[in-house]
Amino acid sequence: MGERWYTESVIYCLDVETFQDSNGDGIGDFQGLISRLDYLTRLGINCLWLHPIHPTPGRDDGYDATDFYNVDPRLGTLGDFAELLHEAANRGIKVIIDLVVNHTSDEHPWFQSAVASKDSPYRDWYVWSDKEPADRFQGMVFPGEQAETWTYHRRARAWYYHRFYDFQPDLNFANPLVRAEIKKILAFWIQLGVAGFRMDAVPFIIELTEPGRTDSPMDFDYLSELRQHIQWRRGDAVLLAEANVEPEKLPEYFGDAGGSGNRIHMLFDFMLNGRLVLALARQNPEPVIDWLKTTPKLPPGGQWATFLRNHDEIDLSRLTAEQREDVFEQFGPDEDMRLYDRGIRRRLGPMLGGDRRRLEMAYSLQFTLRGTPVLRYGEEIGMGEDLSQVGRYAIRTPMQWSFAKNGGFSDAEPIRPVISKGDYAYDAVNVTAQRHDPGSLLAWFERMIRTLRESPEVGSGTCACVDKPLPAGVLAHRADGPTGSMLFLHNLGTEDAVVDLGDLAKDTHLPNDVFADQEYEPVGDFTELRLAGYGYRWIRLRRSSV
């Protein structure tokens, strides 16, 4: 693997509590996850991103922590967590954890102390206003579920700020003590052996909120400070940030105006996510091509993390109303499939109508576009959603391992029901069935991920669309890096196509199909590249001798 491991990784994200229960209490835990590491090794992933593991009252699925220096006892002990890090490292898998420090739970002892008295040493750790702030009803993240961003606290006799739910009071990043504490938290987990952090809600962390202001100052330098801090502790540790902001604001998150990549290493490409889903809905790659051409240039070491599905709703808020409507019409026709008027609470399999060819094409496209792919647990077997669950919990059901009771997730009543009815029930979709079937989606993911790992130019090289007239629905892009060059063809439409890329023949010495949806005629002189409806081809153009 290259110097910058994160540019050539495949990240797998999961919530420990819904992955595998080991002690029969219905809740997934670290020991359960350890017992499934061999499965993940076979799948070919090499980095795990764990959703919040801290003690929590669980009102936002763990994104409301009460202690940043411990693990939720339901998942195991710190000892079990250390064991997980060790076992993962033995298999070449790095572990990064969710770092949710924009806010704490209102049950966190810091907040409890802060509300008890104005003289509490923790009072100034949160954001207060004595008067009702003029922006009380602005900046809500969860419309419909959240009434305001400033709430009056009777005991504290003041208004406190919360960008998210009212049980998630924001920490005050203007306070040097808070800034120092957060650094200590990062250092603590690095000392234990984590390889980095998925930083939650970064734009709100660096916002120095002032009551009544909707344009509070942003302190980007704090990101440089955090980066420097972790890098001294562990040279290869990474920050992977959630910052769903306008494209022109993205570069500042990666580095300062001097051009060095001295802040966040990797950002989720939310723009690409919306564009990919739109392109799939319209069966037209234009939205993706457009974004690839206009993506801001990243400083050295800066990297995108690509995804089709994460643990939240698919966020379509950066699309126009018309584009959003097209996506809703195709992938979220029922009101019940939508969330906050901006998103879709479904998994990809059912969204694509259970069409195996289309699903492969969609994932092949995500994994071959520039950046580091992130895969959500269960997608590799084509799990579905449970719309009877509230909000985002529809796509947070337990992993389906086998035909056994509760899909092999637990012997006991599971923390959340396993999908047990319909086409996506655990007796129809599970690991055991697919493990034995070389034609299964799981087997396909294994082959695809392994082929990607043989193609490091995708993660660490450049990515460019092939600028030639192509049949409707077809996207051609290439990846070039020190290790060689690859060409990728994807057909987002249903019509078979023939692609002419004759120009490529002259400077290519090794054309061969390394991965495709079916057997195709050899590449030849590139003038008649056939591509089935929803087909895809990965073609190696050259390989350097190193």
Interface residue list for ligand NOJ (CB under 6 A): 60, 63, 100, 164, 200-201, 242, 312
CB 217 within 8 A of CB 257: no
Q: Whole-number minimum distance, CB 200 to ligand NOJ, in Å?
A: 5
Residue 15 is a binding residue for Ca ion (CB under 5 A): no
Residue 27 is a binding residue for Ca ion (CB under 5 A): yes
**Nearest-CB residue for Ca ion:** 29
Binding at 316: pick from Ca ion, ligand NOJ, none (beta carbon under 5-8 Å per type): none
> Which residues does residue 486 pair with via DSSP β-bridges, in sequence order?
479, 540
- Sheet containing 343-344: order of strands: 314-315, 343-344, 338-339
Residue 23 is a binding residue for Ca ion (CB under 5 A): yes
Stretch that binds Ca ion, among 28-36, 113-121, 127-135, 340-348 (CB under 5 A): 28-36
- The label of the residue with tokens 């998925």 reads 198
Binding at 312: pick from Ca ion, ligand NOJ, none (beta carbon under 5-8 Å per type): ligand NOJ
Give the binding-site size for Ca ion (rule: CB under 5 A). Answer: 5
Stretch that binds Ca ion, among 25-33, 199-207, 208-216, 352-360 (CB under 5 A): 25-33
Binding at 100: pick from Ca ion, ligand NOJ, none (beta carbon under 5-8 Å per type): ligand NOJ
List Cβ neighbours of 84 (8 Å cut-off, separation of 6 or more).
30, 33, 34, 95
Q: Whole-number minimum distance, CB 100 to ligand NOJ, in Å?
A: 5
Rounded to an integer, what distance in angstroms lies between the CA atom of residue 197 and that of residue 501? 42
- Sheet containing 536-543: order of strands: 462-465, 474-481, 484-491, 536-543, 512-516
Please tell me what DSSP assigns to residue 295: P
200 annotated active-site: yes
Q: Residues 8, 15, 17, 21: which binds Ca ion (CB under 5 A)?
A: 21
Tell me the C-alpha to C-alpha distance, in Å, between residue 237 and each of 6, 184, 194, 199, 204: 9, 15, 8, 13, 22
Stretch that binds Ca ion, among 19-27, 120-128, 186-194, 521-529 (CB under 5 A): 19-27
Catalytic residue among 8, 98, 106, 242: 242
* Alpha-helical segments (H) within 404-499: 431-435, 441-453, 457-460
Nearer Cβ to ligand NOJ, position 340 or 409?
340
Q: How does DSSP assign 340-406, residue by residue?
A: TTTEE---HHHHTTT-HHHHHHHHHHHHHSSSEEEEETTGGGT----TTS-GGGGG-PPP---SSGG
Report residue 234 as tokens: 């562990």
Q: Whole-number minimum distance, CB 330 to ligand NOJ, in Å?
A: 24
SS3 content of the chain, % helix, strand, coil (to 5): 35, 20, 50
Q: Whole-number minimum distance, CB 170 to ligand NOJ, in Å?
A: 11
Nearer Cβ to ligand NOJ, position 101 or 448?
101
Nearer Cβ to ligand NOJ, position 171 or 466?
171
Rounded to an integer, what distance in angstroms lies between the CA atom of residue 207 and that of residue 161? 12
Rounded to an integer, what distance in angstroms lies between the CA atom of residue 154 and that of residue 467? 62
246 annotated active-site: no
Binding at 201: pick from Ca ion, ligand NOJ, none (beta carbon under 5-8 Å per type): ligand NOJ
Rounded to an integer, what distance in angstroms lies between the CA atom of residue 224 and that of residue 138? 29
Q: Whole-number minimum distance, CB 65 to ligand NOJ, in Å?
A: 10
CB 283 within 8 A of CB 494: yes
Binding at 29: pick from ligand NOJ, Ca ion, none (beta carbon under 5-8 Å per type): Ca ion
Q: Whole-number minimum distance, CB 242 to ligand NOJ, in Å?
A: 6
**Nearest-CB residue for ligand NOJ:** 63
Binding at 23: pick from ligand NOJ, Ca ion, none (beta carbon under 5-8 Å per type): Ca ion
Q: Whole-number minimum distance, CB 145 to ligand NOJ, in Å?
A: 10
Stretch that binds Ca ion, among 23-31, 316-324, 350-358, 498-506 (CB under 5 A): 23-31
Q: Where are the beta strands (DSSP E) in 60-206?
A: 94-99, 128-129, 150-153, 158-161, 196-199
Single-letter amino acid code for the residue at 494: T
Binding site for Ca ion (CB under 5 A): 21, 23, 25, 27, 29
Which residue numbers are catalytic? 200, 242
